[in-house]
Amino acid sequence: MTGRYATRFGFEFTPTPKPFMQLIGGYRAEGLLHGPIYHPEREADLIPYEDMGLPTGEITLARLLQGAGYHTVHLGKWHLGDSPQFRSYAHGFDESLSHLHGASMYLPTKHPGVVNAQQDYDPIDRFLWVSEPWVVRFKDGEPFQPPRYMTDYLTDEAVKVVAANKNRPFFMHLAYNSPHTPLQATRDDYDALSFIPDPTMRVYAAIIRSLDCNIGRVLQSLKDQGVDDNTLVIFTSDNGGAHYIGIDGLPKGASVQVPVSHFDIYATAAAAAAVALRRDRPIDGVNLLPFITGQATGRPHDTPYWRTDTYRVWREGEWKLQVTERPRQDWLYDLSQDPGEKTNLASREPERTAAMKARLLAFDKTQRKPLWPSLAETPIPLDKTLKAPQAADDAYVYCAN
């Protein structure tokens, strides 16, 4: 949304209320060798949940395009602040149909047309099933329940947006919660995949099936309205291969030529719309259009960086360094030879590790302190799902919210 590292403006952690972080920090699943960590000493720096959100001084992509005459619409998930001053309509969206607090069910759990798969080992999943959020809100209106399966409903509204705006420039941010937990599929999609024996895998696959069909509906609507050749479409996931799903054996063999980032969408969309970027702040994203068309070669980013609390990552070419506090360790990988990050070369390459770490920490100092702290950290196994049995020699890192 901003084209910038979130650590430049303090939005380092997801807005979450204190009770939820206490739940995360105090929950230890059966068989978990390393328990979560709760930081009561950080409570003094905590701000009210209502004050957590994307700073209004940031110029979102919606606001940038809105200023250039684009009609801007947001549908679905919005996890950048739930108070009115932080909602999507306050950040440049003319229309906003949002989930509340960044989460939603797909259908009520007892709906006759839904098939549920609960993840008892995942505290976030347990929280969602108990609270069962299944409402949306248009701009600042009263929340209401959608009439059908959430992915279908958001697509219905997206198709309406395309039809209503076919004669003017528009930017639509369609933020499906699919395939995020909770795992809920329609009975029709579930029944269509009877060849999958594992019920959890089958529900997850059915969610993907629905998402695939609905993306097809959106693309078809662009064709039907005659704007498909004049519309930039970007499809991306938000969480990658989420270990908390507990599903192994997802498709392998995907090829990525050069590292890019979500924040490149900002500069790329602005370039496609012929809108100049702001010059009063660093923009970390890069316009990818020249790389797509072949006009530019090489790497859009020389040294990608990432941070969440005490976990930091730095990359130079094919060398990737990760620095963690829990466990206190440096992890160095040569991705040209080891894309799966199986062999830690930090002890074999001490000079390279030290030099990269120095540059990482120097850049890290240019970032800003978080606007609020993360009260909890949870252990993440590096090579297993959350559901898989753990062994004493499994590699893991602690990751903050």
Taking the domains of the chain in order of start, what are their residue ranges? 1-52+281-401, 60-235
222-259 exposure pattern, b = at least 16 Cβ within 10 A, e = fewer? beebebeeebeeeeeeeeeebbbbbbeeeeeeeeeeeb
Average pLDDT of the segment spanning 214-236: 96
Q: Which of 118, 153, 119, 156 is nearest to 134 (CA)?
A: 153
pLDDT tens for 270-301 read 999 999 999 999 999 999 998 888 888 889 99
pLDDT of residue 255: 47
Q: What tokens does 341 get?
A: 């990050």
Q: Tell me the CATH number of domain 1-52+281-401, given options 3.30.1120.10, 3.40.50.1820, 3.40.50.300, 3.10.20.30.
A: 3.30.1120.10
Residue 153 has pLDDT above 70, yes or no: yes
Mean pLDDT of the chain: 92
Residue range 60-235 in CATH 3.30.530.20: no
pTM: 0.91
Q: Please report where in the chains the tokens 């060398």 appear, as a residue.
A: 319
Q: What tokens does 308 get?
A: 């969440």
Centre a 10 Å sphere on the Cβ of residue 268 and count the other Cβ atoms it contains: 24
Residue 256 has pLDDT above 80, yes or no: no
Integer-rounded Cα Rg, in Å, for the chain is: 22
pLDDT of residue 130: 78
Cα 250 to Cα 35, 154, 381: the distances in Å are 27, 26, 17
3-state helix vs strand vs coil in the chain, percent to 5: 30, 15, 55
Average pLDDT of the segment spanning 28-40: 85
pLDDT tens for 68-94 read 999 999 999 999 999 999 999 999 999
At residue 240 the predicted structure's pLDDT band, cuts being 50, 70 and 90, is: low
Residue 95 in 3-state DSSP? Answer: strand
